Structure 1
Amino acid sequence: MHTATMRAVRLHAFGEPEQLVYEEVARPEPGPGEVLVRVCAAGVNPPDWYARRGFRNIPAELRPNWTPPLILGSDISGVVVALGPDVTGWRPGDEVFGLVNFPGRGSAYAEYVVSPAAHLASRPAALGHVEAAAVPMAGLTAYQYLFTHLRDRVGGTVLVNGAAGGVGHFAVQLARAAGARRVVAVASGRHEEFLRGLGVDRFVDYTRTPAEEAVRDVDLLIDTVGGPHAHRLLPVMRRGGQIAPVFPGDYHRTRAAELGITLTEGWQVRSSGPDLAGLAALVDAGKVRVGIDSVFPLRDAAAAHLRAERGHLQGKIVLSAEDRGFADHR
């Protein structure tokens, strides 16, 4: 019996980007509650390069037990081609996007992917596949922070640190949509025009003036940078304010408590078709725009990872699985 195949990018050993190999593999089949999607574009996210390196940034006892060869990626936009048993709500030909099976293995760097039906939403009418594939993980992270975890804390001044990146550029827009009166963006100067175009009230170029010297009385800080020096941002907060880190950081918890600052950690984005549909509605209403840093053909996933390692992204990196009409934004 002939087994259907597809092209995909597989990781053959943990390490550098050259371990990502574009090759022919077996095409997956949907099981109960799943759909098979022809992938038109796939987003590139930090967990992808964490996995490529063998999750060295995670304590050994907490690392996922993944063994190469494996296909990375979780963000997709594409077309439903087949349904598994017991699937309702989708039909072949439907255009969808989604964060596939996260946290877990999504296998999105491929021409086809199997996804739980509940992890998908209809592709926003306002977006093409490349833009839609840039949304799921970063957009849902910001959406779930602001509309689920922090829905009662948005209303005053919101500061987004690392505002030009994937999560950051969604957070500045969704903070406004969630009811923030004032949005402050912190990034390097080359991102000022981009962020002002997204509607921020104030832009701070941290390469010229540290945010802790320029900003005061912040009600909510969404910190997409974190790191060992995250505590430097404590002076920007008002008493009673809240810090919501996207990446772990040292916020000097004792000092933060003395200043009356609440620190909330441990939230992780999760696949959710309903949340993604809510985000898509905001996109189609013109309240959220998608920033694209660069687009690479699927076969050049290694080059996309090299771009990610250079840092200072403005929006998202996307892999196009369709050669036809491919536009290179590098």
Structure 2
Amino acid sequence: MKAIQILGDISSPKVNTNYSMPEPTPRNSEVLVRVHAAGVTGDEILWPEPYAAPSRIPGHDISGVISAFGPDYSGPLKHGQEVYAMIAADRGEGQADYVICLADEVTPKPTSISHEEAAALPIPILTAWEGLIDHGALKAGMRVLVTGASGAVGTFAVQFATQLAGAHVIALASSKNHELLRQLGAHEVLDYNASSWKSQVTDVDLVFDTVGGDVLIKSWETVKDDGAIVTVGDPAPSWAFGRGRAVESIDHPKVRHMHFILTPNAERMQQASDMIDAGTVKVLAVETFPFHKAEEAWAFARQRSRNGKVVIKFAEAENSQSSHK
């Protein structure tokens, strides 16, 4: 099978295309998916996981069809069924013709969208949902600040906060994306390039931060004394993973704060599928690259000012979006 590999090391990575990788075989209750499209998370090239994998194949977001099952599988999925999946952070290997998934990573894809569009969704959907609901304890009527609101994760955070809880959402993003964010449900939109943005935000119950760095630091000034800050900023703050106390918490001792790495959740992806097919949640714009342009796809995915989510096509899929031939 053909697959993408990340060769070298983190200091000098190289995106490589390989046309002669062995096809995996599902064992136990594993699920083998024939990949039609795989999403690219540009920062993954700086994660340790691809370099620890013997195959060196990256990728966690996929959309495709069920090709085979391990002998012990007894779930509801069927051979040939269209699915999408988020492969756990410690495994990956989704950017290939075939990939092994666990049963709780796979769910039927939304029927109203293409494989390319579906492949862009799992990580953003699950990150936004887990951050808001599990870690942010989102409740009706909350004031929620979403930073990086026009990004892949932020886009869904804005939609889920308004639709799942009727929250008052304040979106922080570049001014060029403000109208889109209003259409997605944001009640207030602020320009992160404006130095005064933090002075315009007060009494926030929950900050959902997707940016990190200086934006995360400034967001401490916007949250209530008993509020919460949840961040998925990359790189992670110095206090993440139990490595100490946030300096800002000295002045805000009651503010709950955490950084997290998402976990697969097929049930939530199915709920999101239902919302997408019902037309209540809008999906991301995608930039599709063919397999032989994988290096260009990864370079584009690492551009901070790009529009849309980058997807690599492995098999023909109908209803293709913006593409690079």
TM class by shorter chain equals: 0.7 to 0.9
How is 1:69-84 mapped onto 2 (pairs within 5 angstroms)? 69-84=55-70
Instruction: Tell me which amino acid in the other structure corresponds to 1:8.
Output: A
Counterpart CA distance in 2 for 1:7 and 1:65 is 18
User: Partner of 2:213: helix, strand, or coil?
Assistant: coil
Q: Residue 30 of structure 2 aligns with which residue?
A: 34
Counterpart pick for 2:278 among 282, 285, 288: 285
Counterpart CA distance in 2 for 1:270 and 1:39 is 21
Identity of aligned residues (%): 32
How is 1:178-257 mapped onto 2 (pairs within 5 angstroms)? 178-227=164-213, 230-247=216-233, 248-249=236-237, 253-256=246-249
Aligned length: 314
Cα distance per residue 1:277-328 (max 9 Å; x no partner): 1222222232321112422113322112111222124442211223565543
How far the C-alpha of 1:239 sits from its partner, in A, is 2.4
Counterpart CA distance in 2 for 1:20 and 1:157 is 45
Q: Residue 165 of structure 1 aligns with which residue?
A: 151
Q: Residue 313 of structure 2 aligns with which residue?
A: 320
Counterpart CA distance in 1 for 2:25 and 2:43 is 25
Q: Is the 8 A contact 1:139 1:170 kept in 2?
A: yes
Give ranges in structure 2 of 5+ residues lacking alignment: 240-244
Gap change, CA 1:282 and 1:146, over 3 Å in 2: farther
Gap change, CA 1:274 and 1:31, over 3 Å in 2: same
User: Partner of 1:305: helix, strand, or coil?
Assistant: helix
User: Partner of 2:116: helix, strand, or coil?
Assistant: helix
Counterpart CA distance in 2 for 1:154 and 1:65 is 43
Cα distance per residue 1:100-131 (max 9 Å; x no partner): 2x121221111111111221011112221111
Counterpart CA distance in 2 for 1:198 and 1:229 is 22
Q: Is the 8 A contact 1:231 1:250 kept in 2?
A: no
How far the C-alpha of 1:213 sits from its partner, in A, is 2.5
Counterpart pick for 1:143 among 118, 121, 129: 129
Counterpart CA distance in 1 for 2:19 and 2:111 is 32
Q: Give me the TM-score of the superposition, normalised by structure 2.
A: 0.87
Q: Residue 296 of structure 2 aligns with which residue?
A: 303
Counterpart CA distance in 2 for 1:179 and 1:152 is 7
Q: Does 1:91 align with 2:78?
A: yes
Gap change, CA 1:67 and 1:285, over 3 Å in 2: closer
How large is the RMSD of aligned CA atoms in angstroms?
Answer: 2.4
Cα distance per residue 1:8-33 (max 9 Å; x no partner): 11223225564322422111111111
Q: Is the 8 A contact 2:286 2:321 kept in 1?
A: no
How far the C-alpha of 1:220 sits from its partner, in A, is 0.8
How far the C-alpha of 1:233 sits from its partner, in A, is 1.9
Counterpart CA distance in 2 for 1:126 and 1:292 is 14
How far the C-alpha of 1:81 sits from its partner, in A, is 1.4
User: Partner of 2:198: helix, strand, or coil?
Assistant: helix
Q: Is the 8 A contact 2:105 2:265 kept in 1?
A: yes
Q: Is the 8 A contact 1:14 1:68 kept in 2?
A: no
Q: Give me the TM-score of the superposition, normalised by structure 1.
A: 0.86
Q: Is the 8 A contact 1:154 1:220 kept in 2?
A: no
Counterpart CA distance in 1 for 2:317 and 2:231 is 40
Instruction: Tell me which amino acid in the other structure corresponds to 1:10.
Output: Q
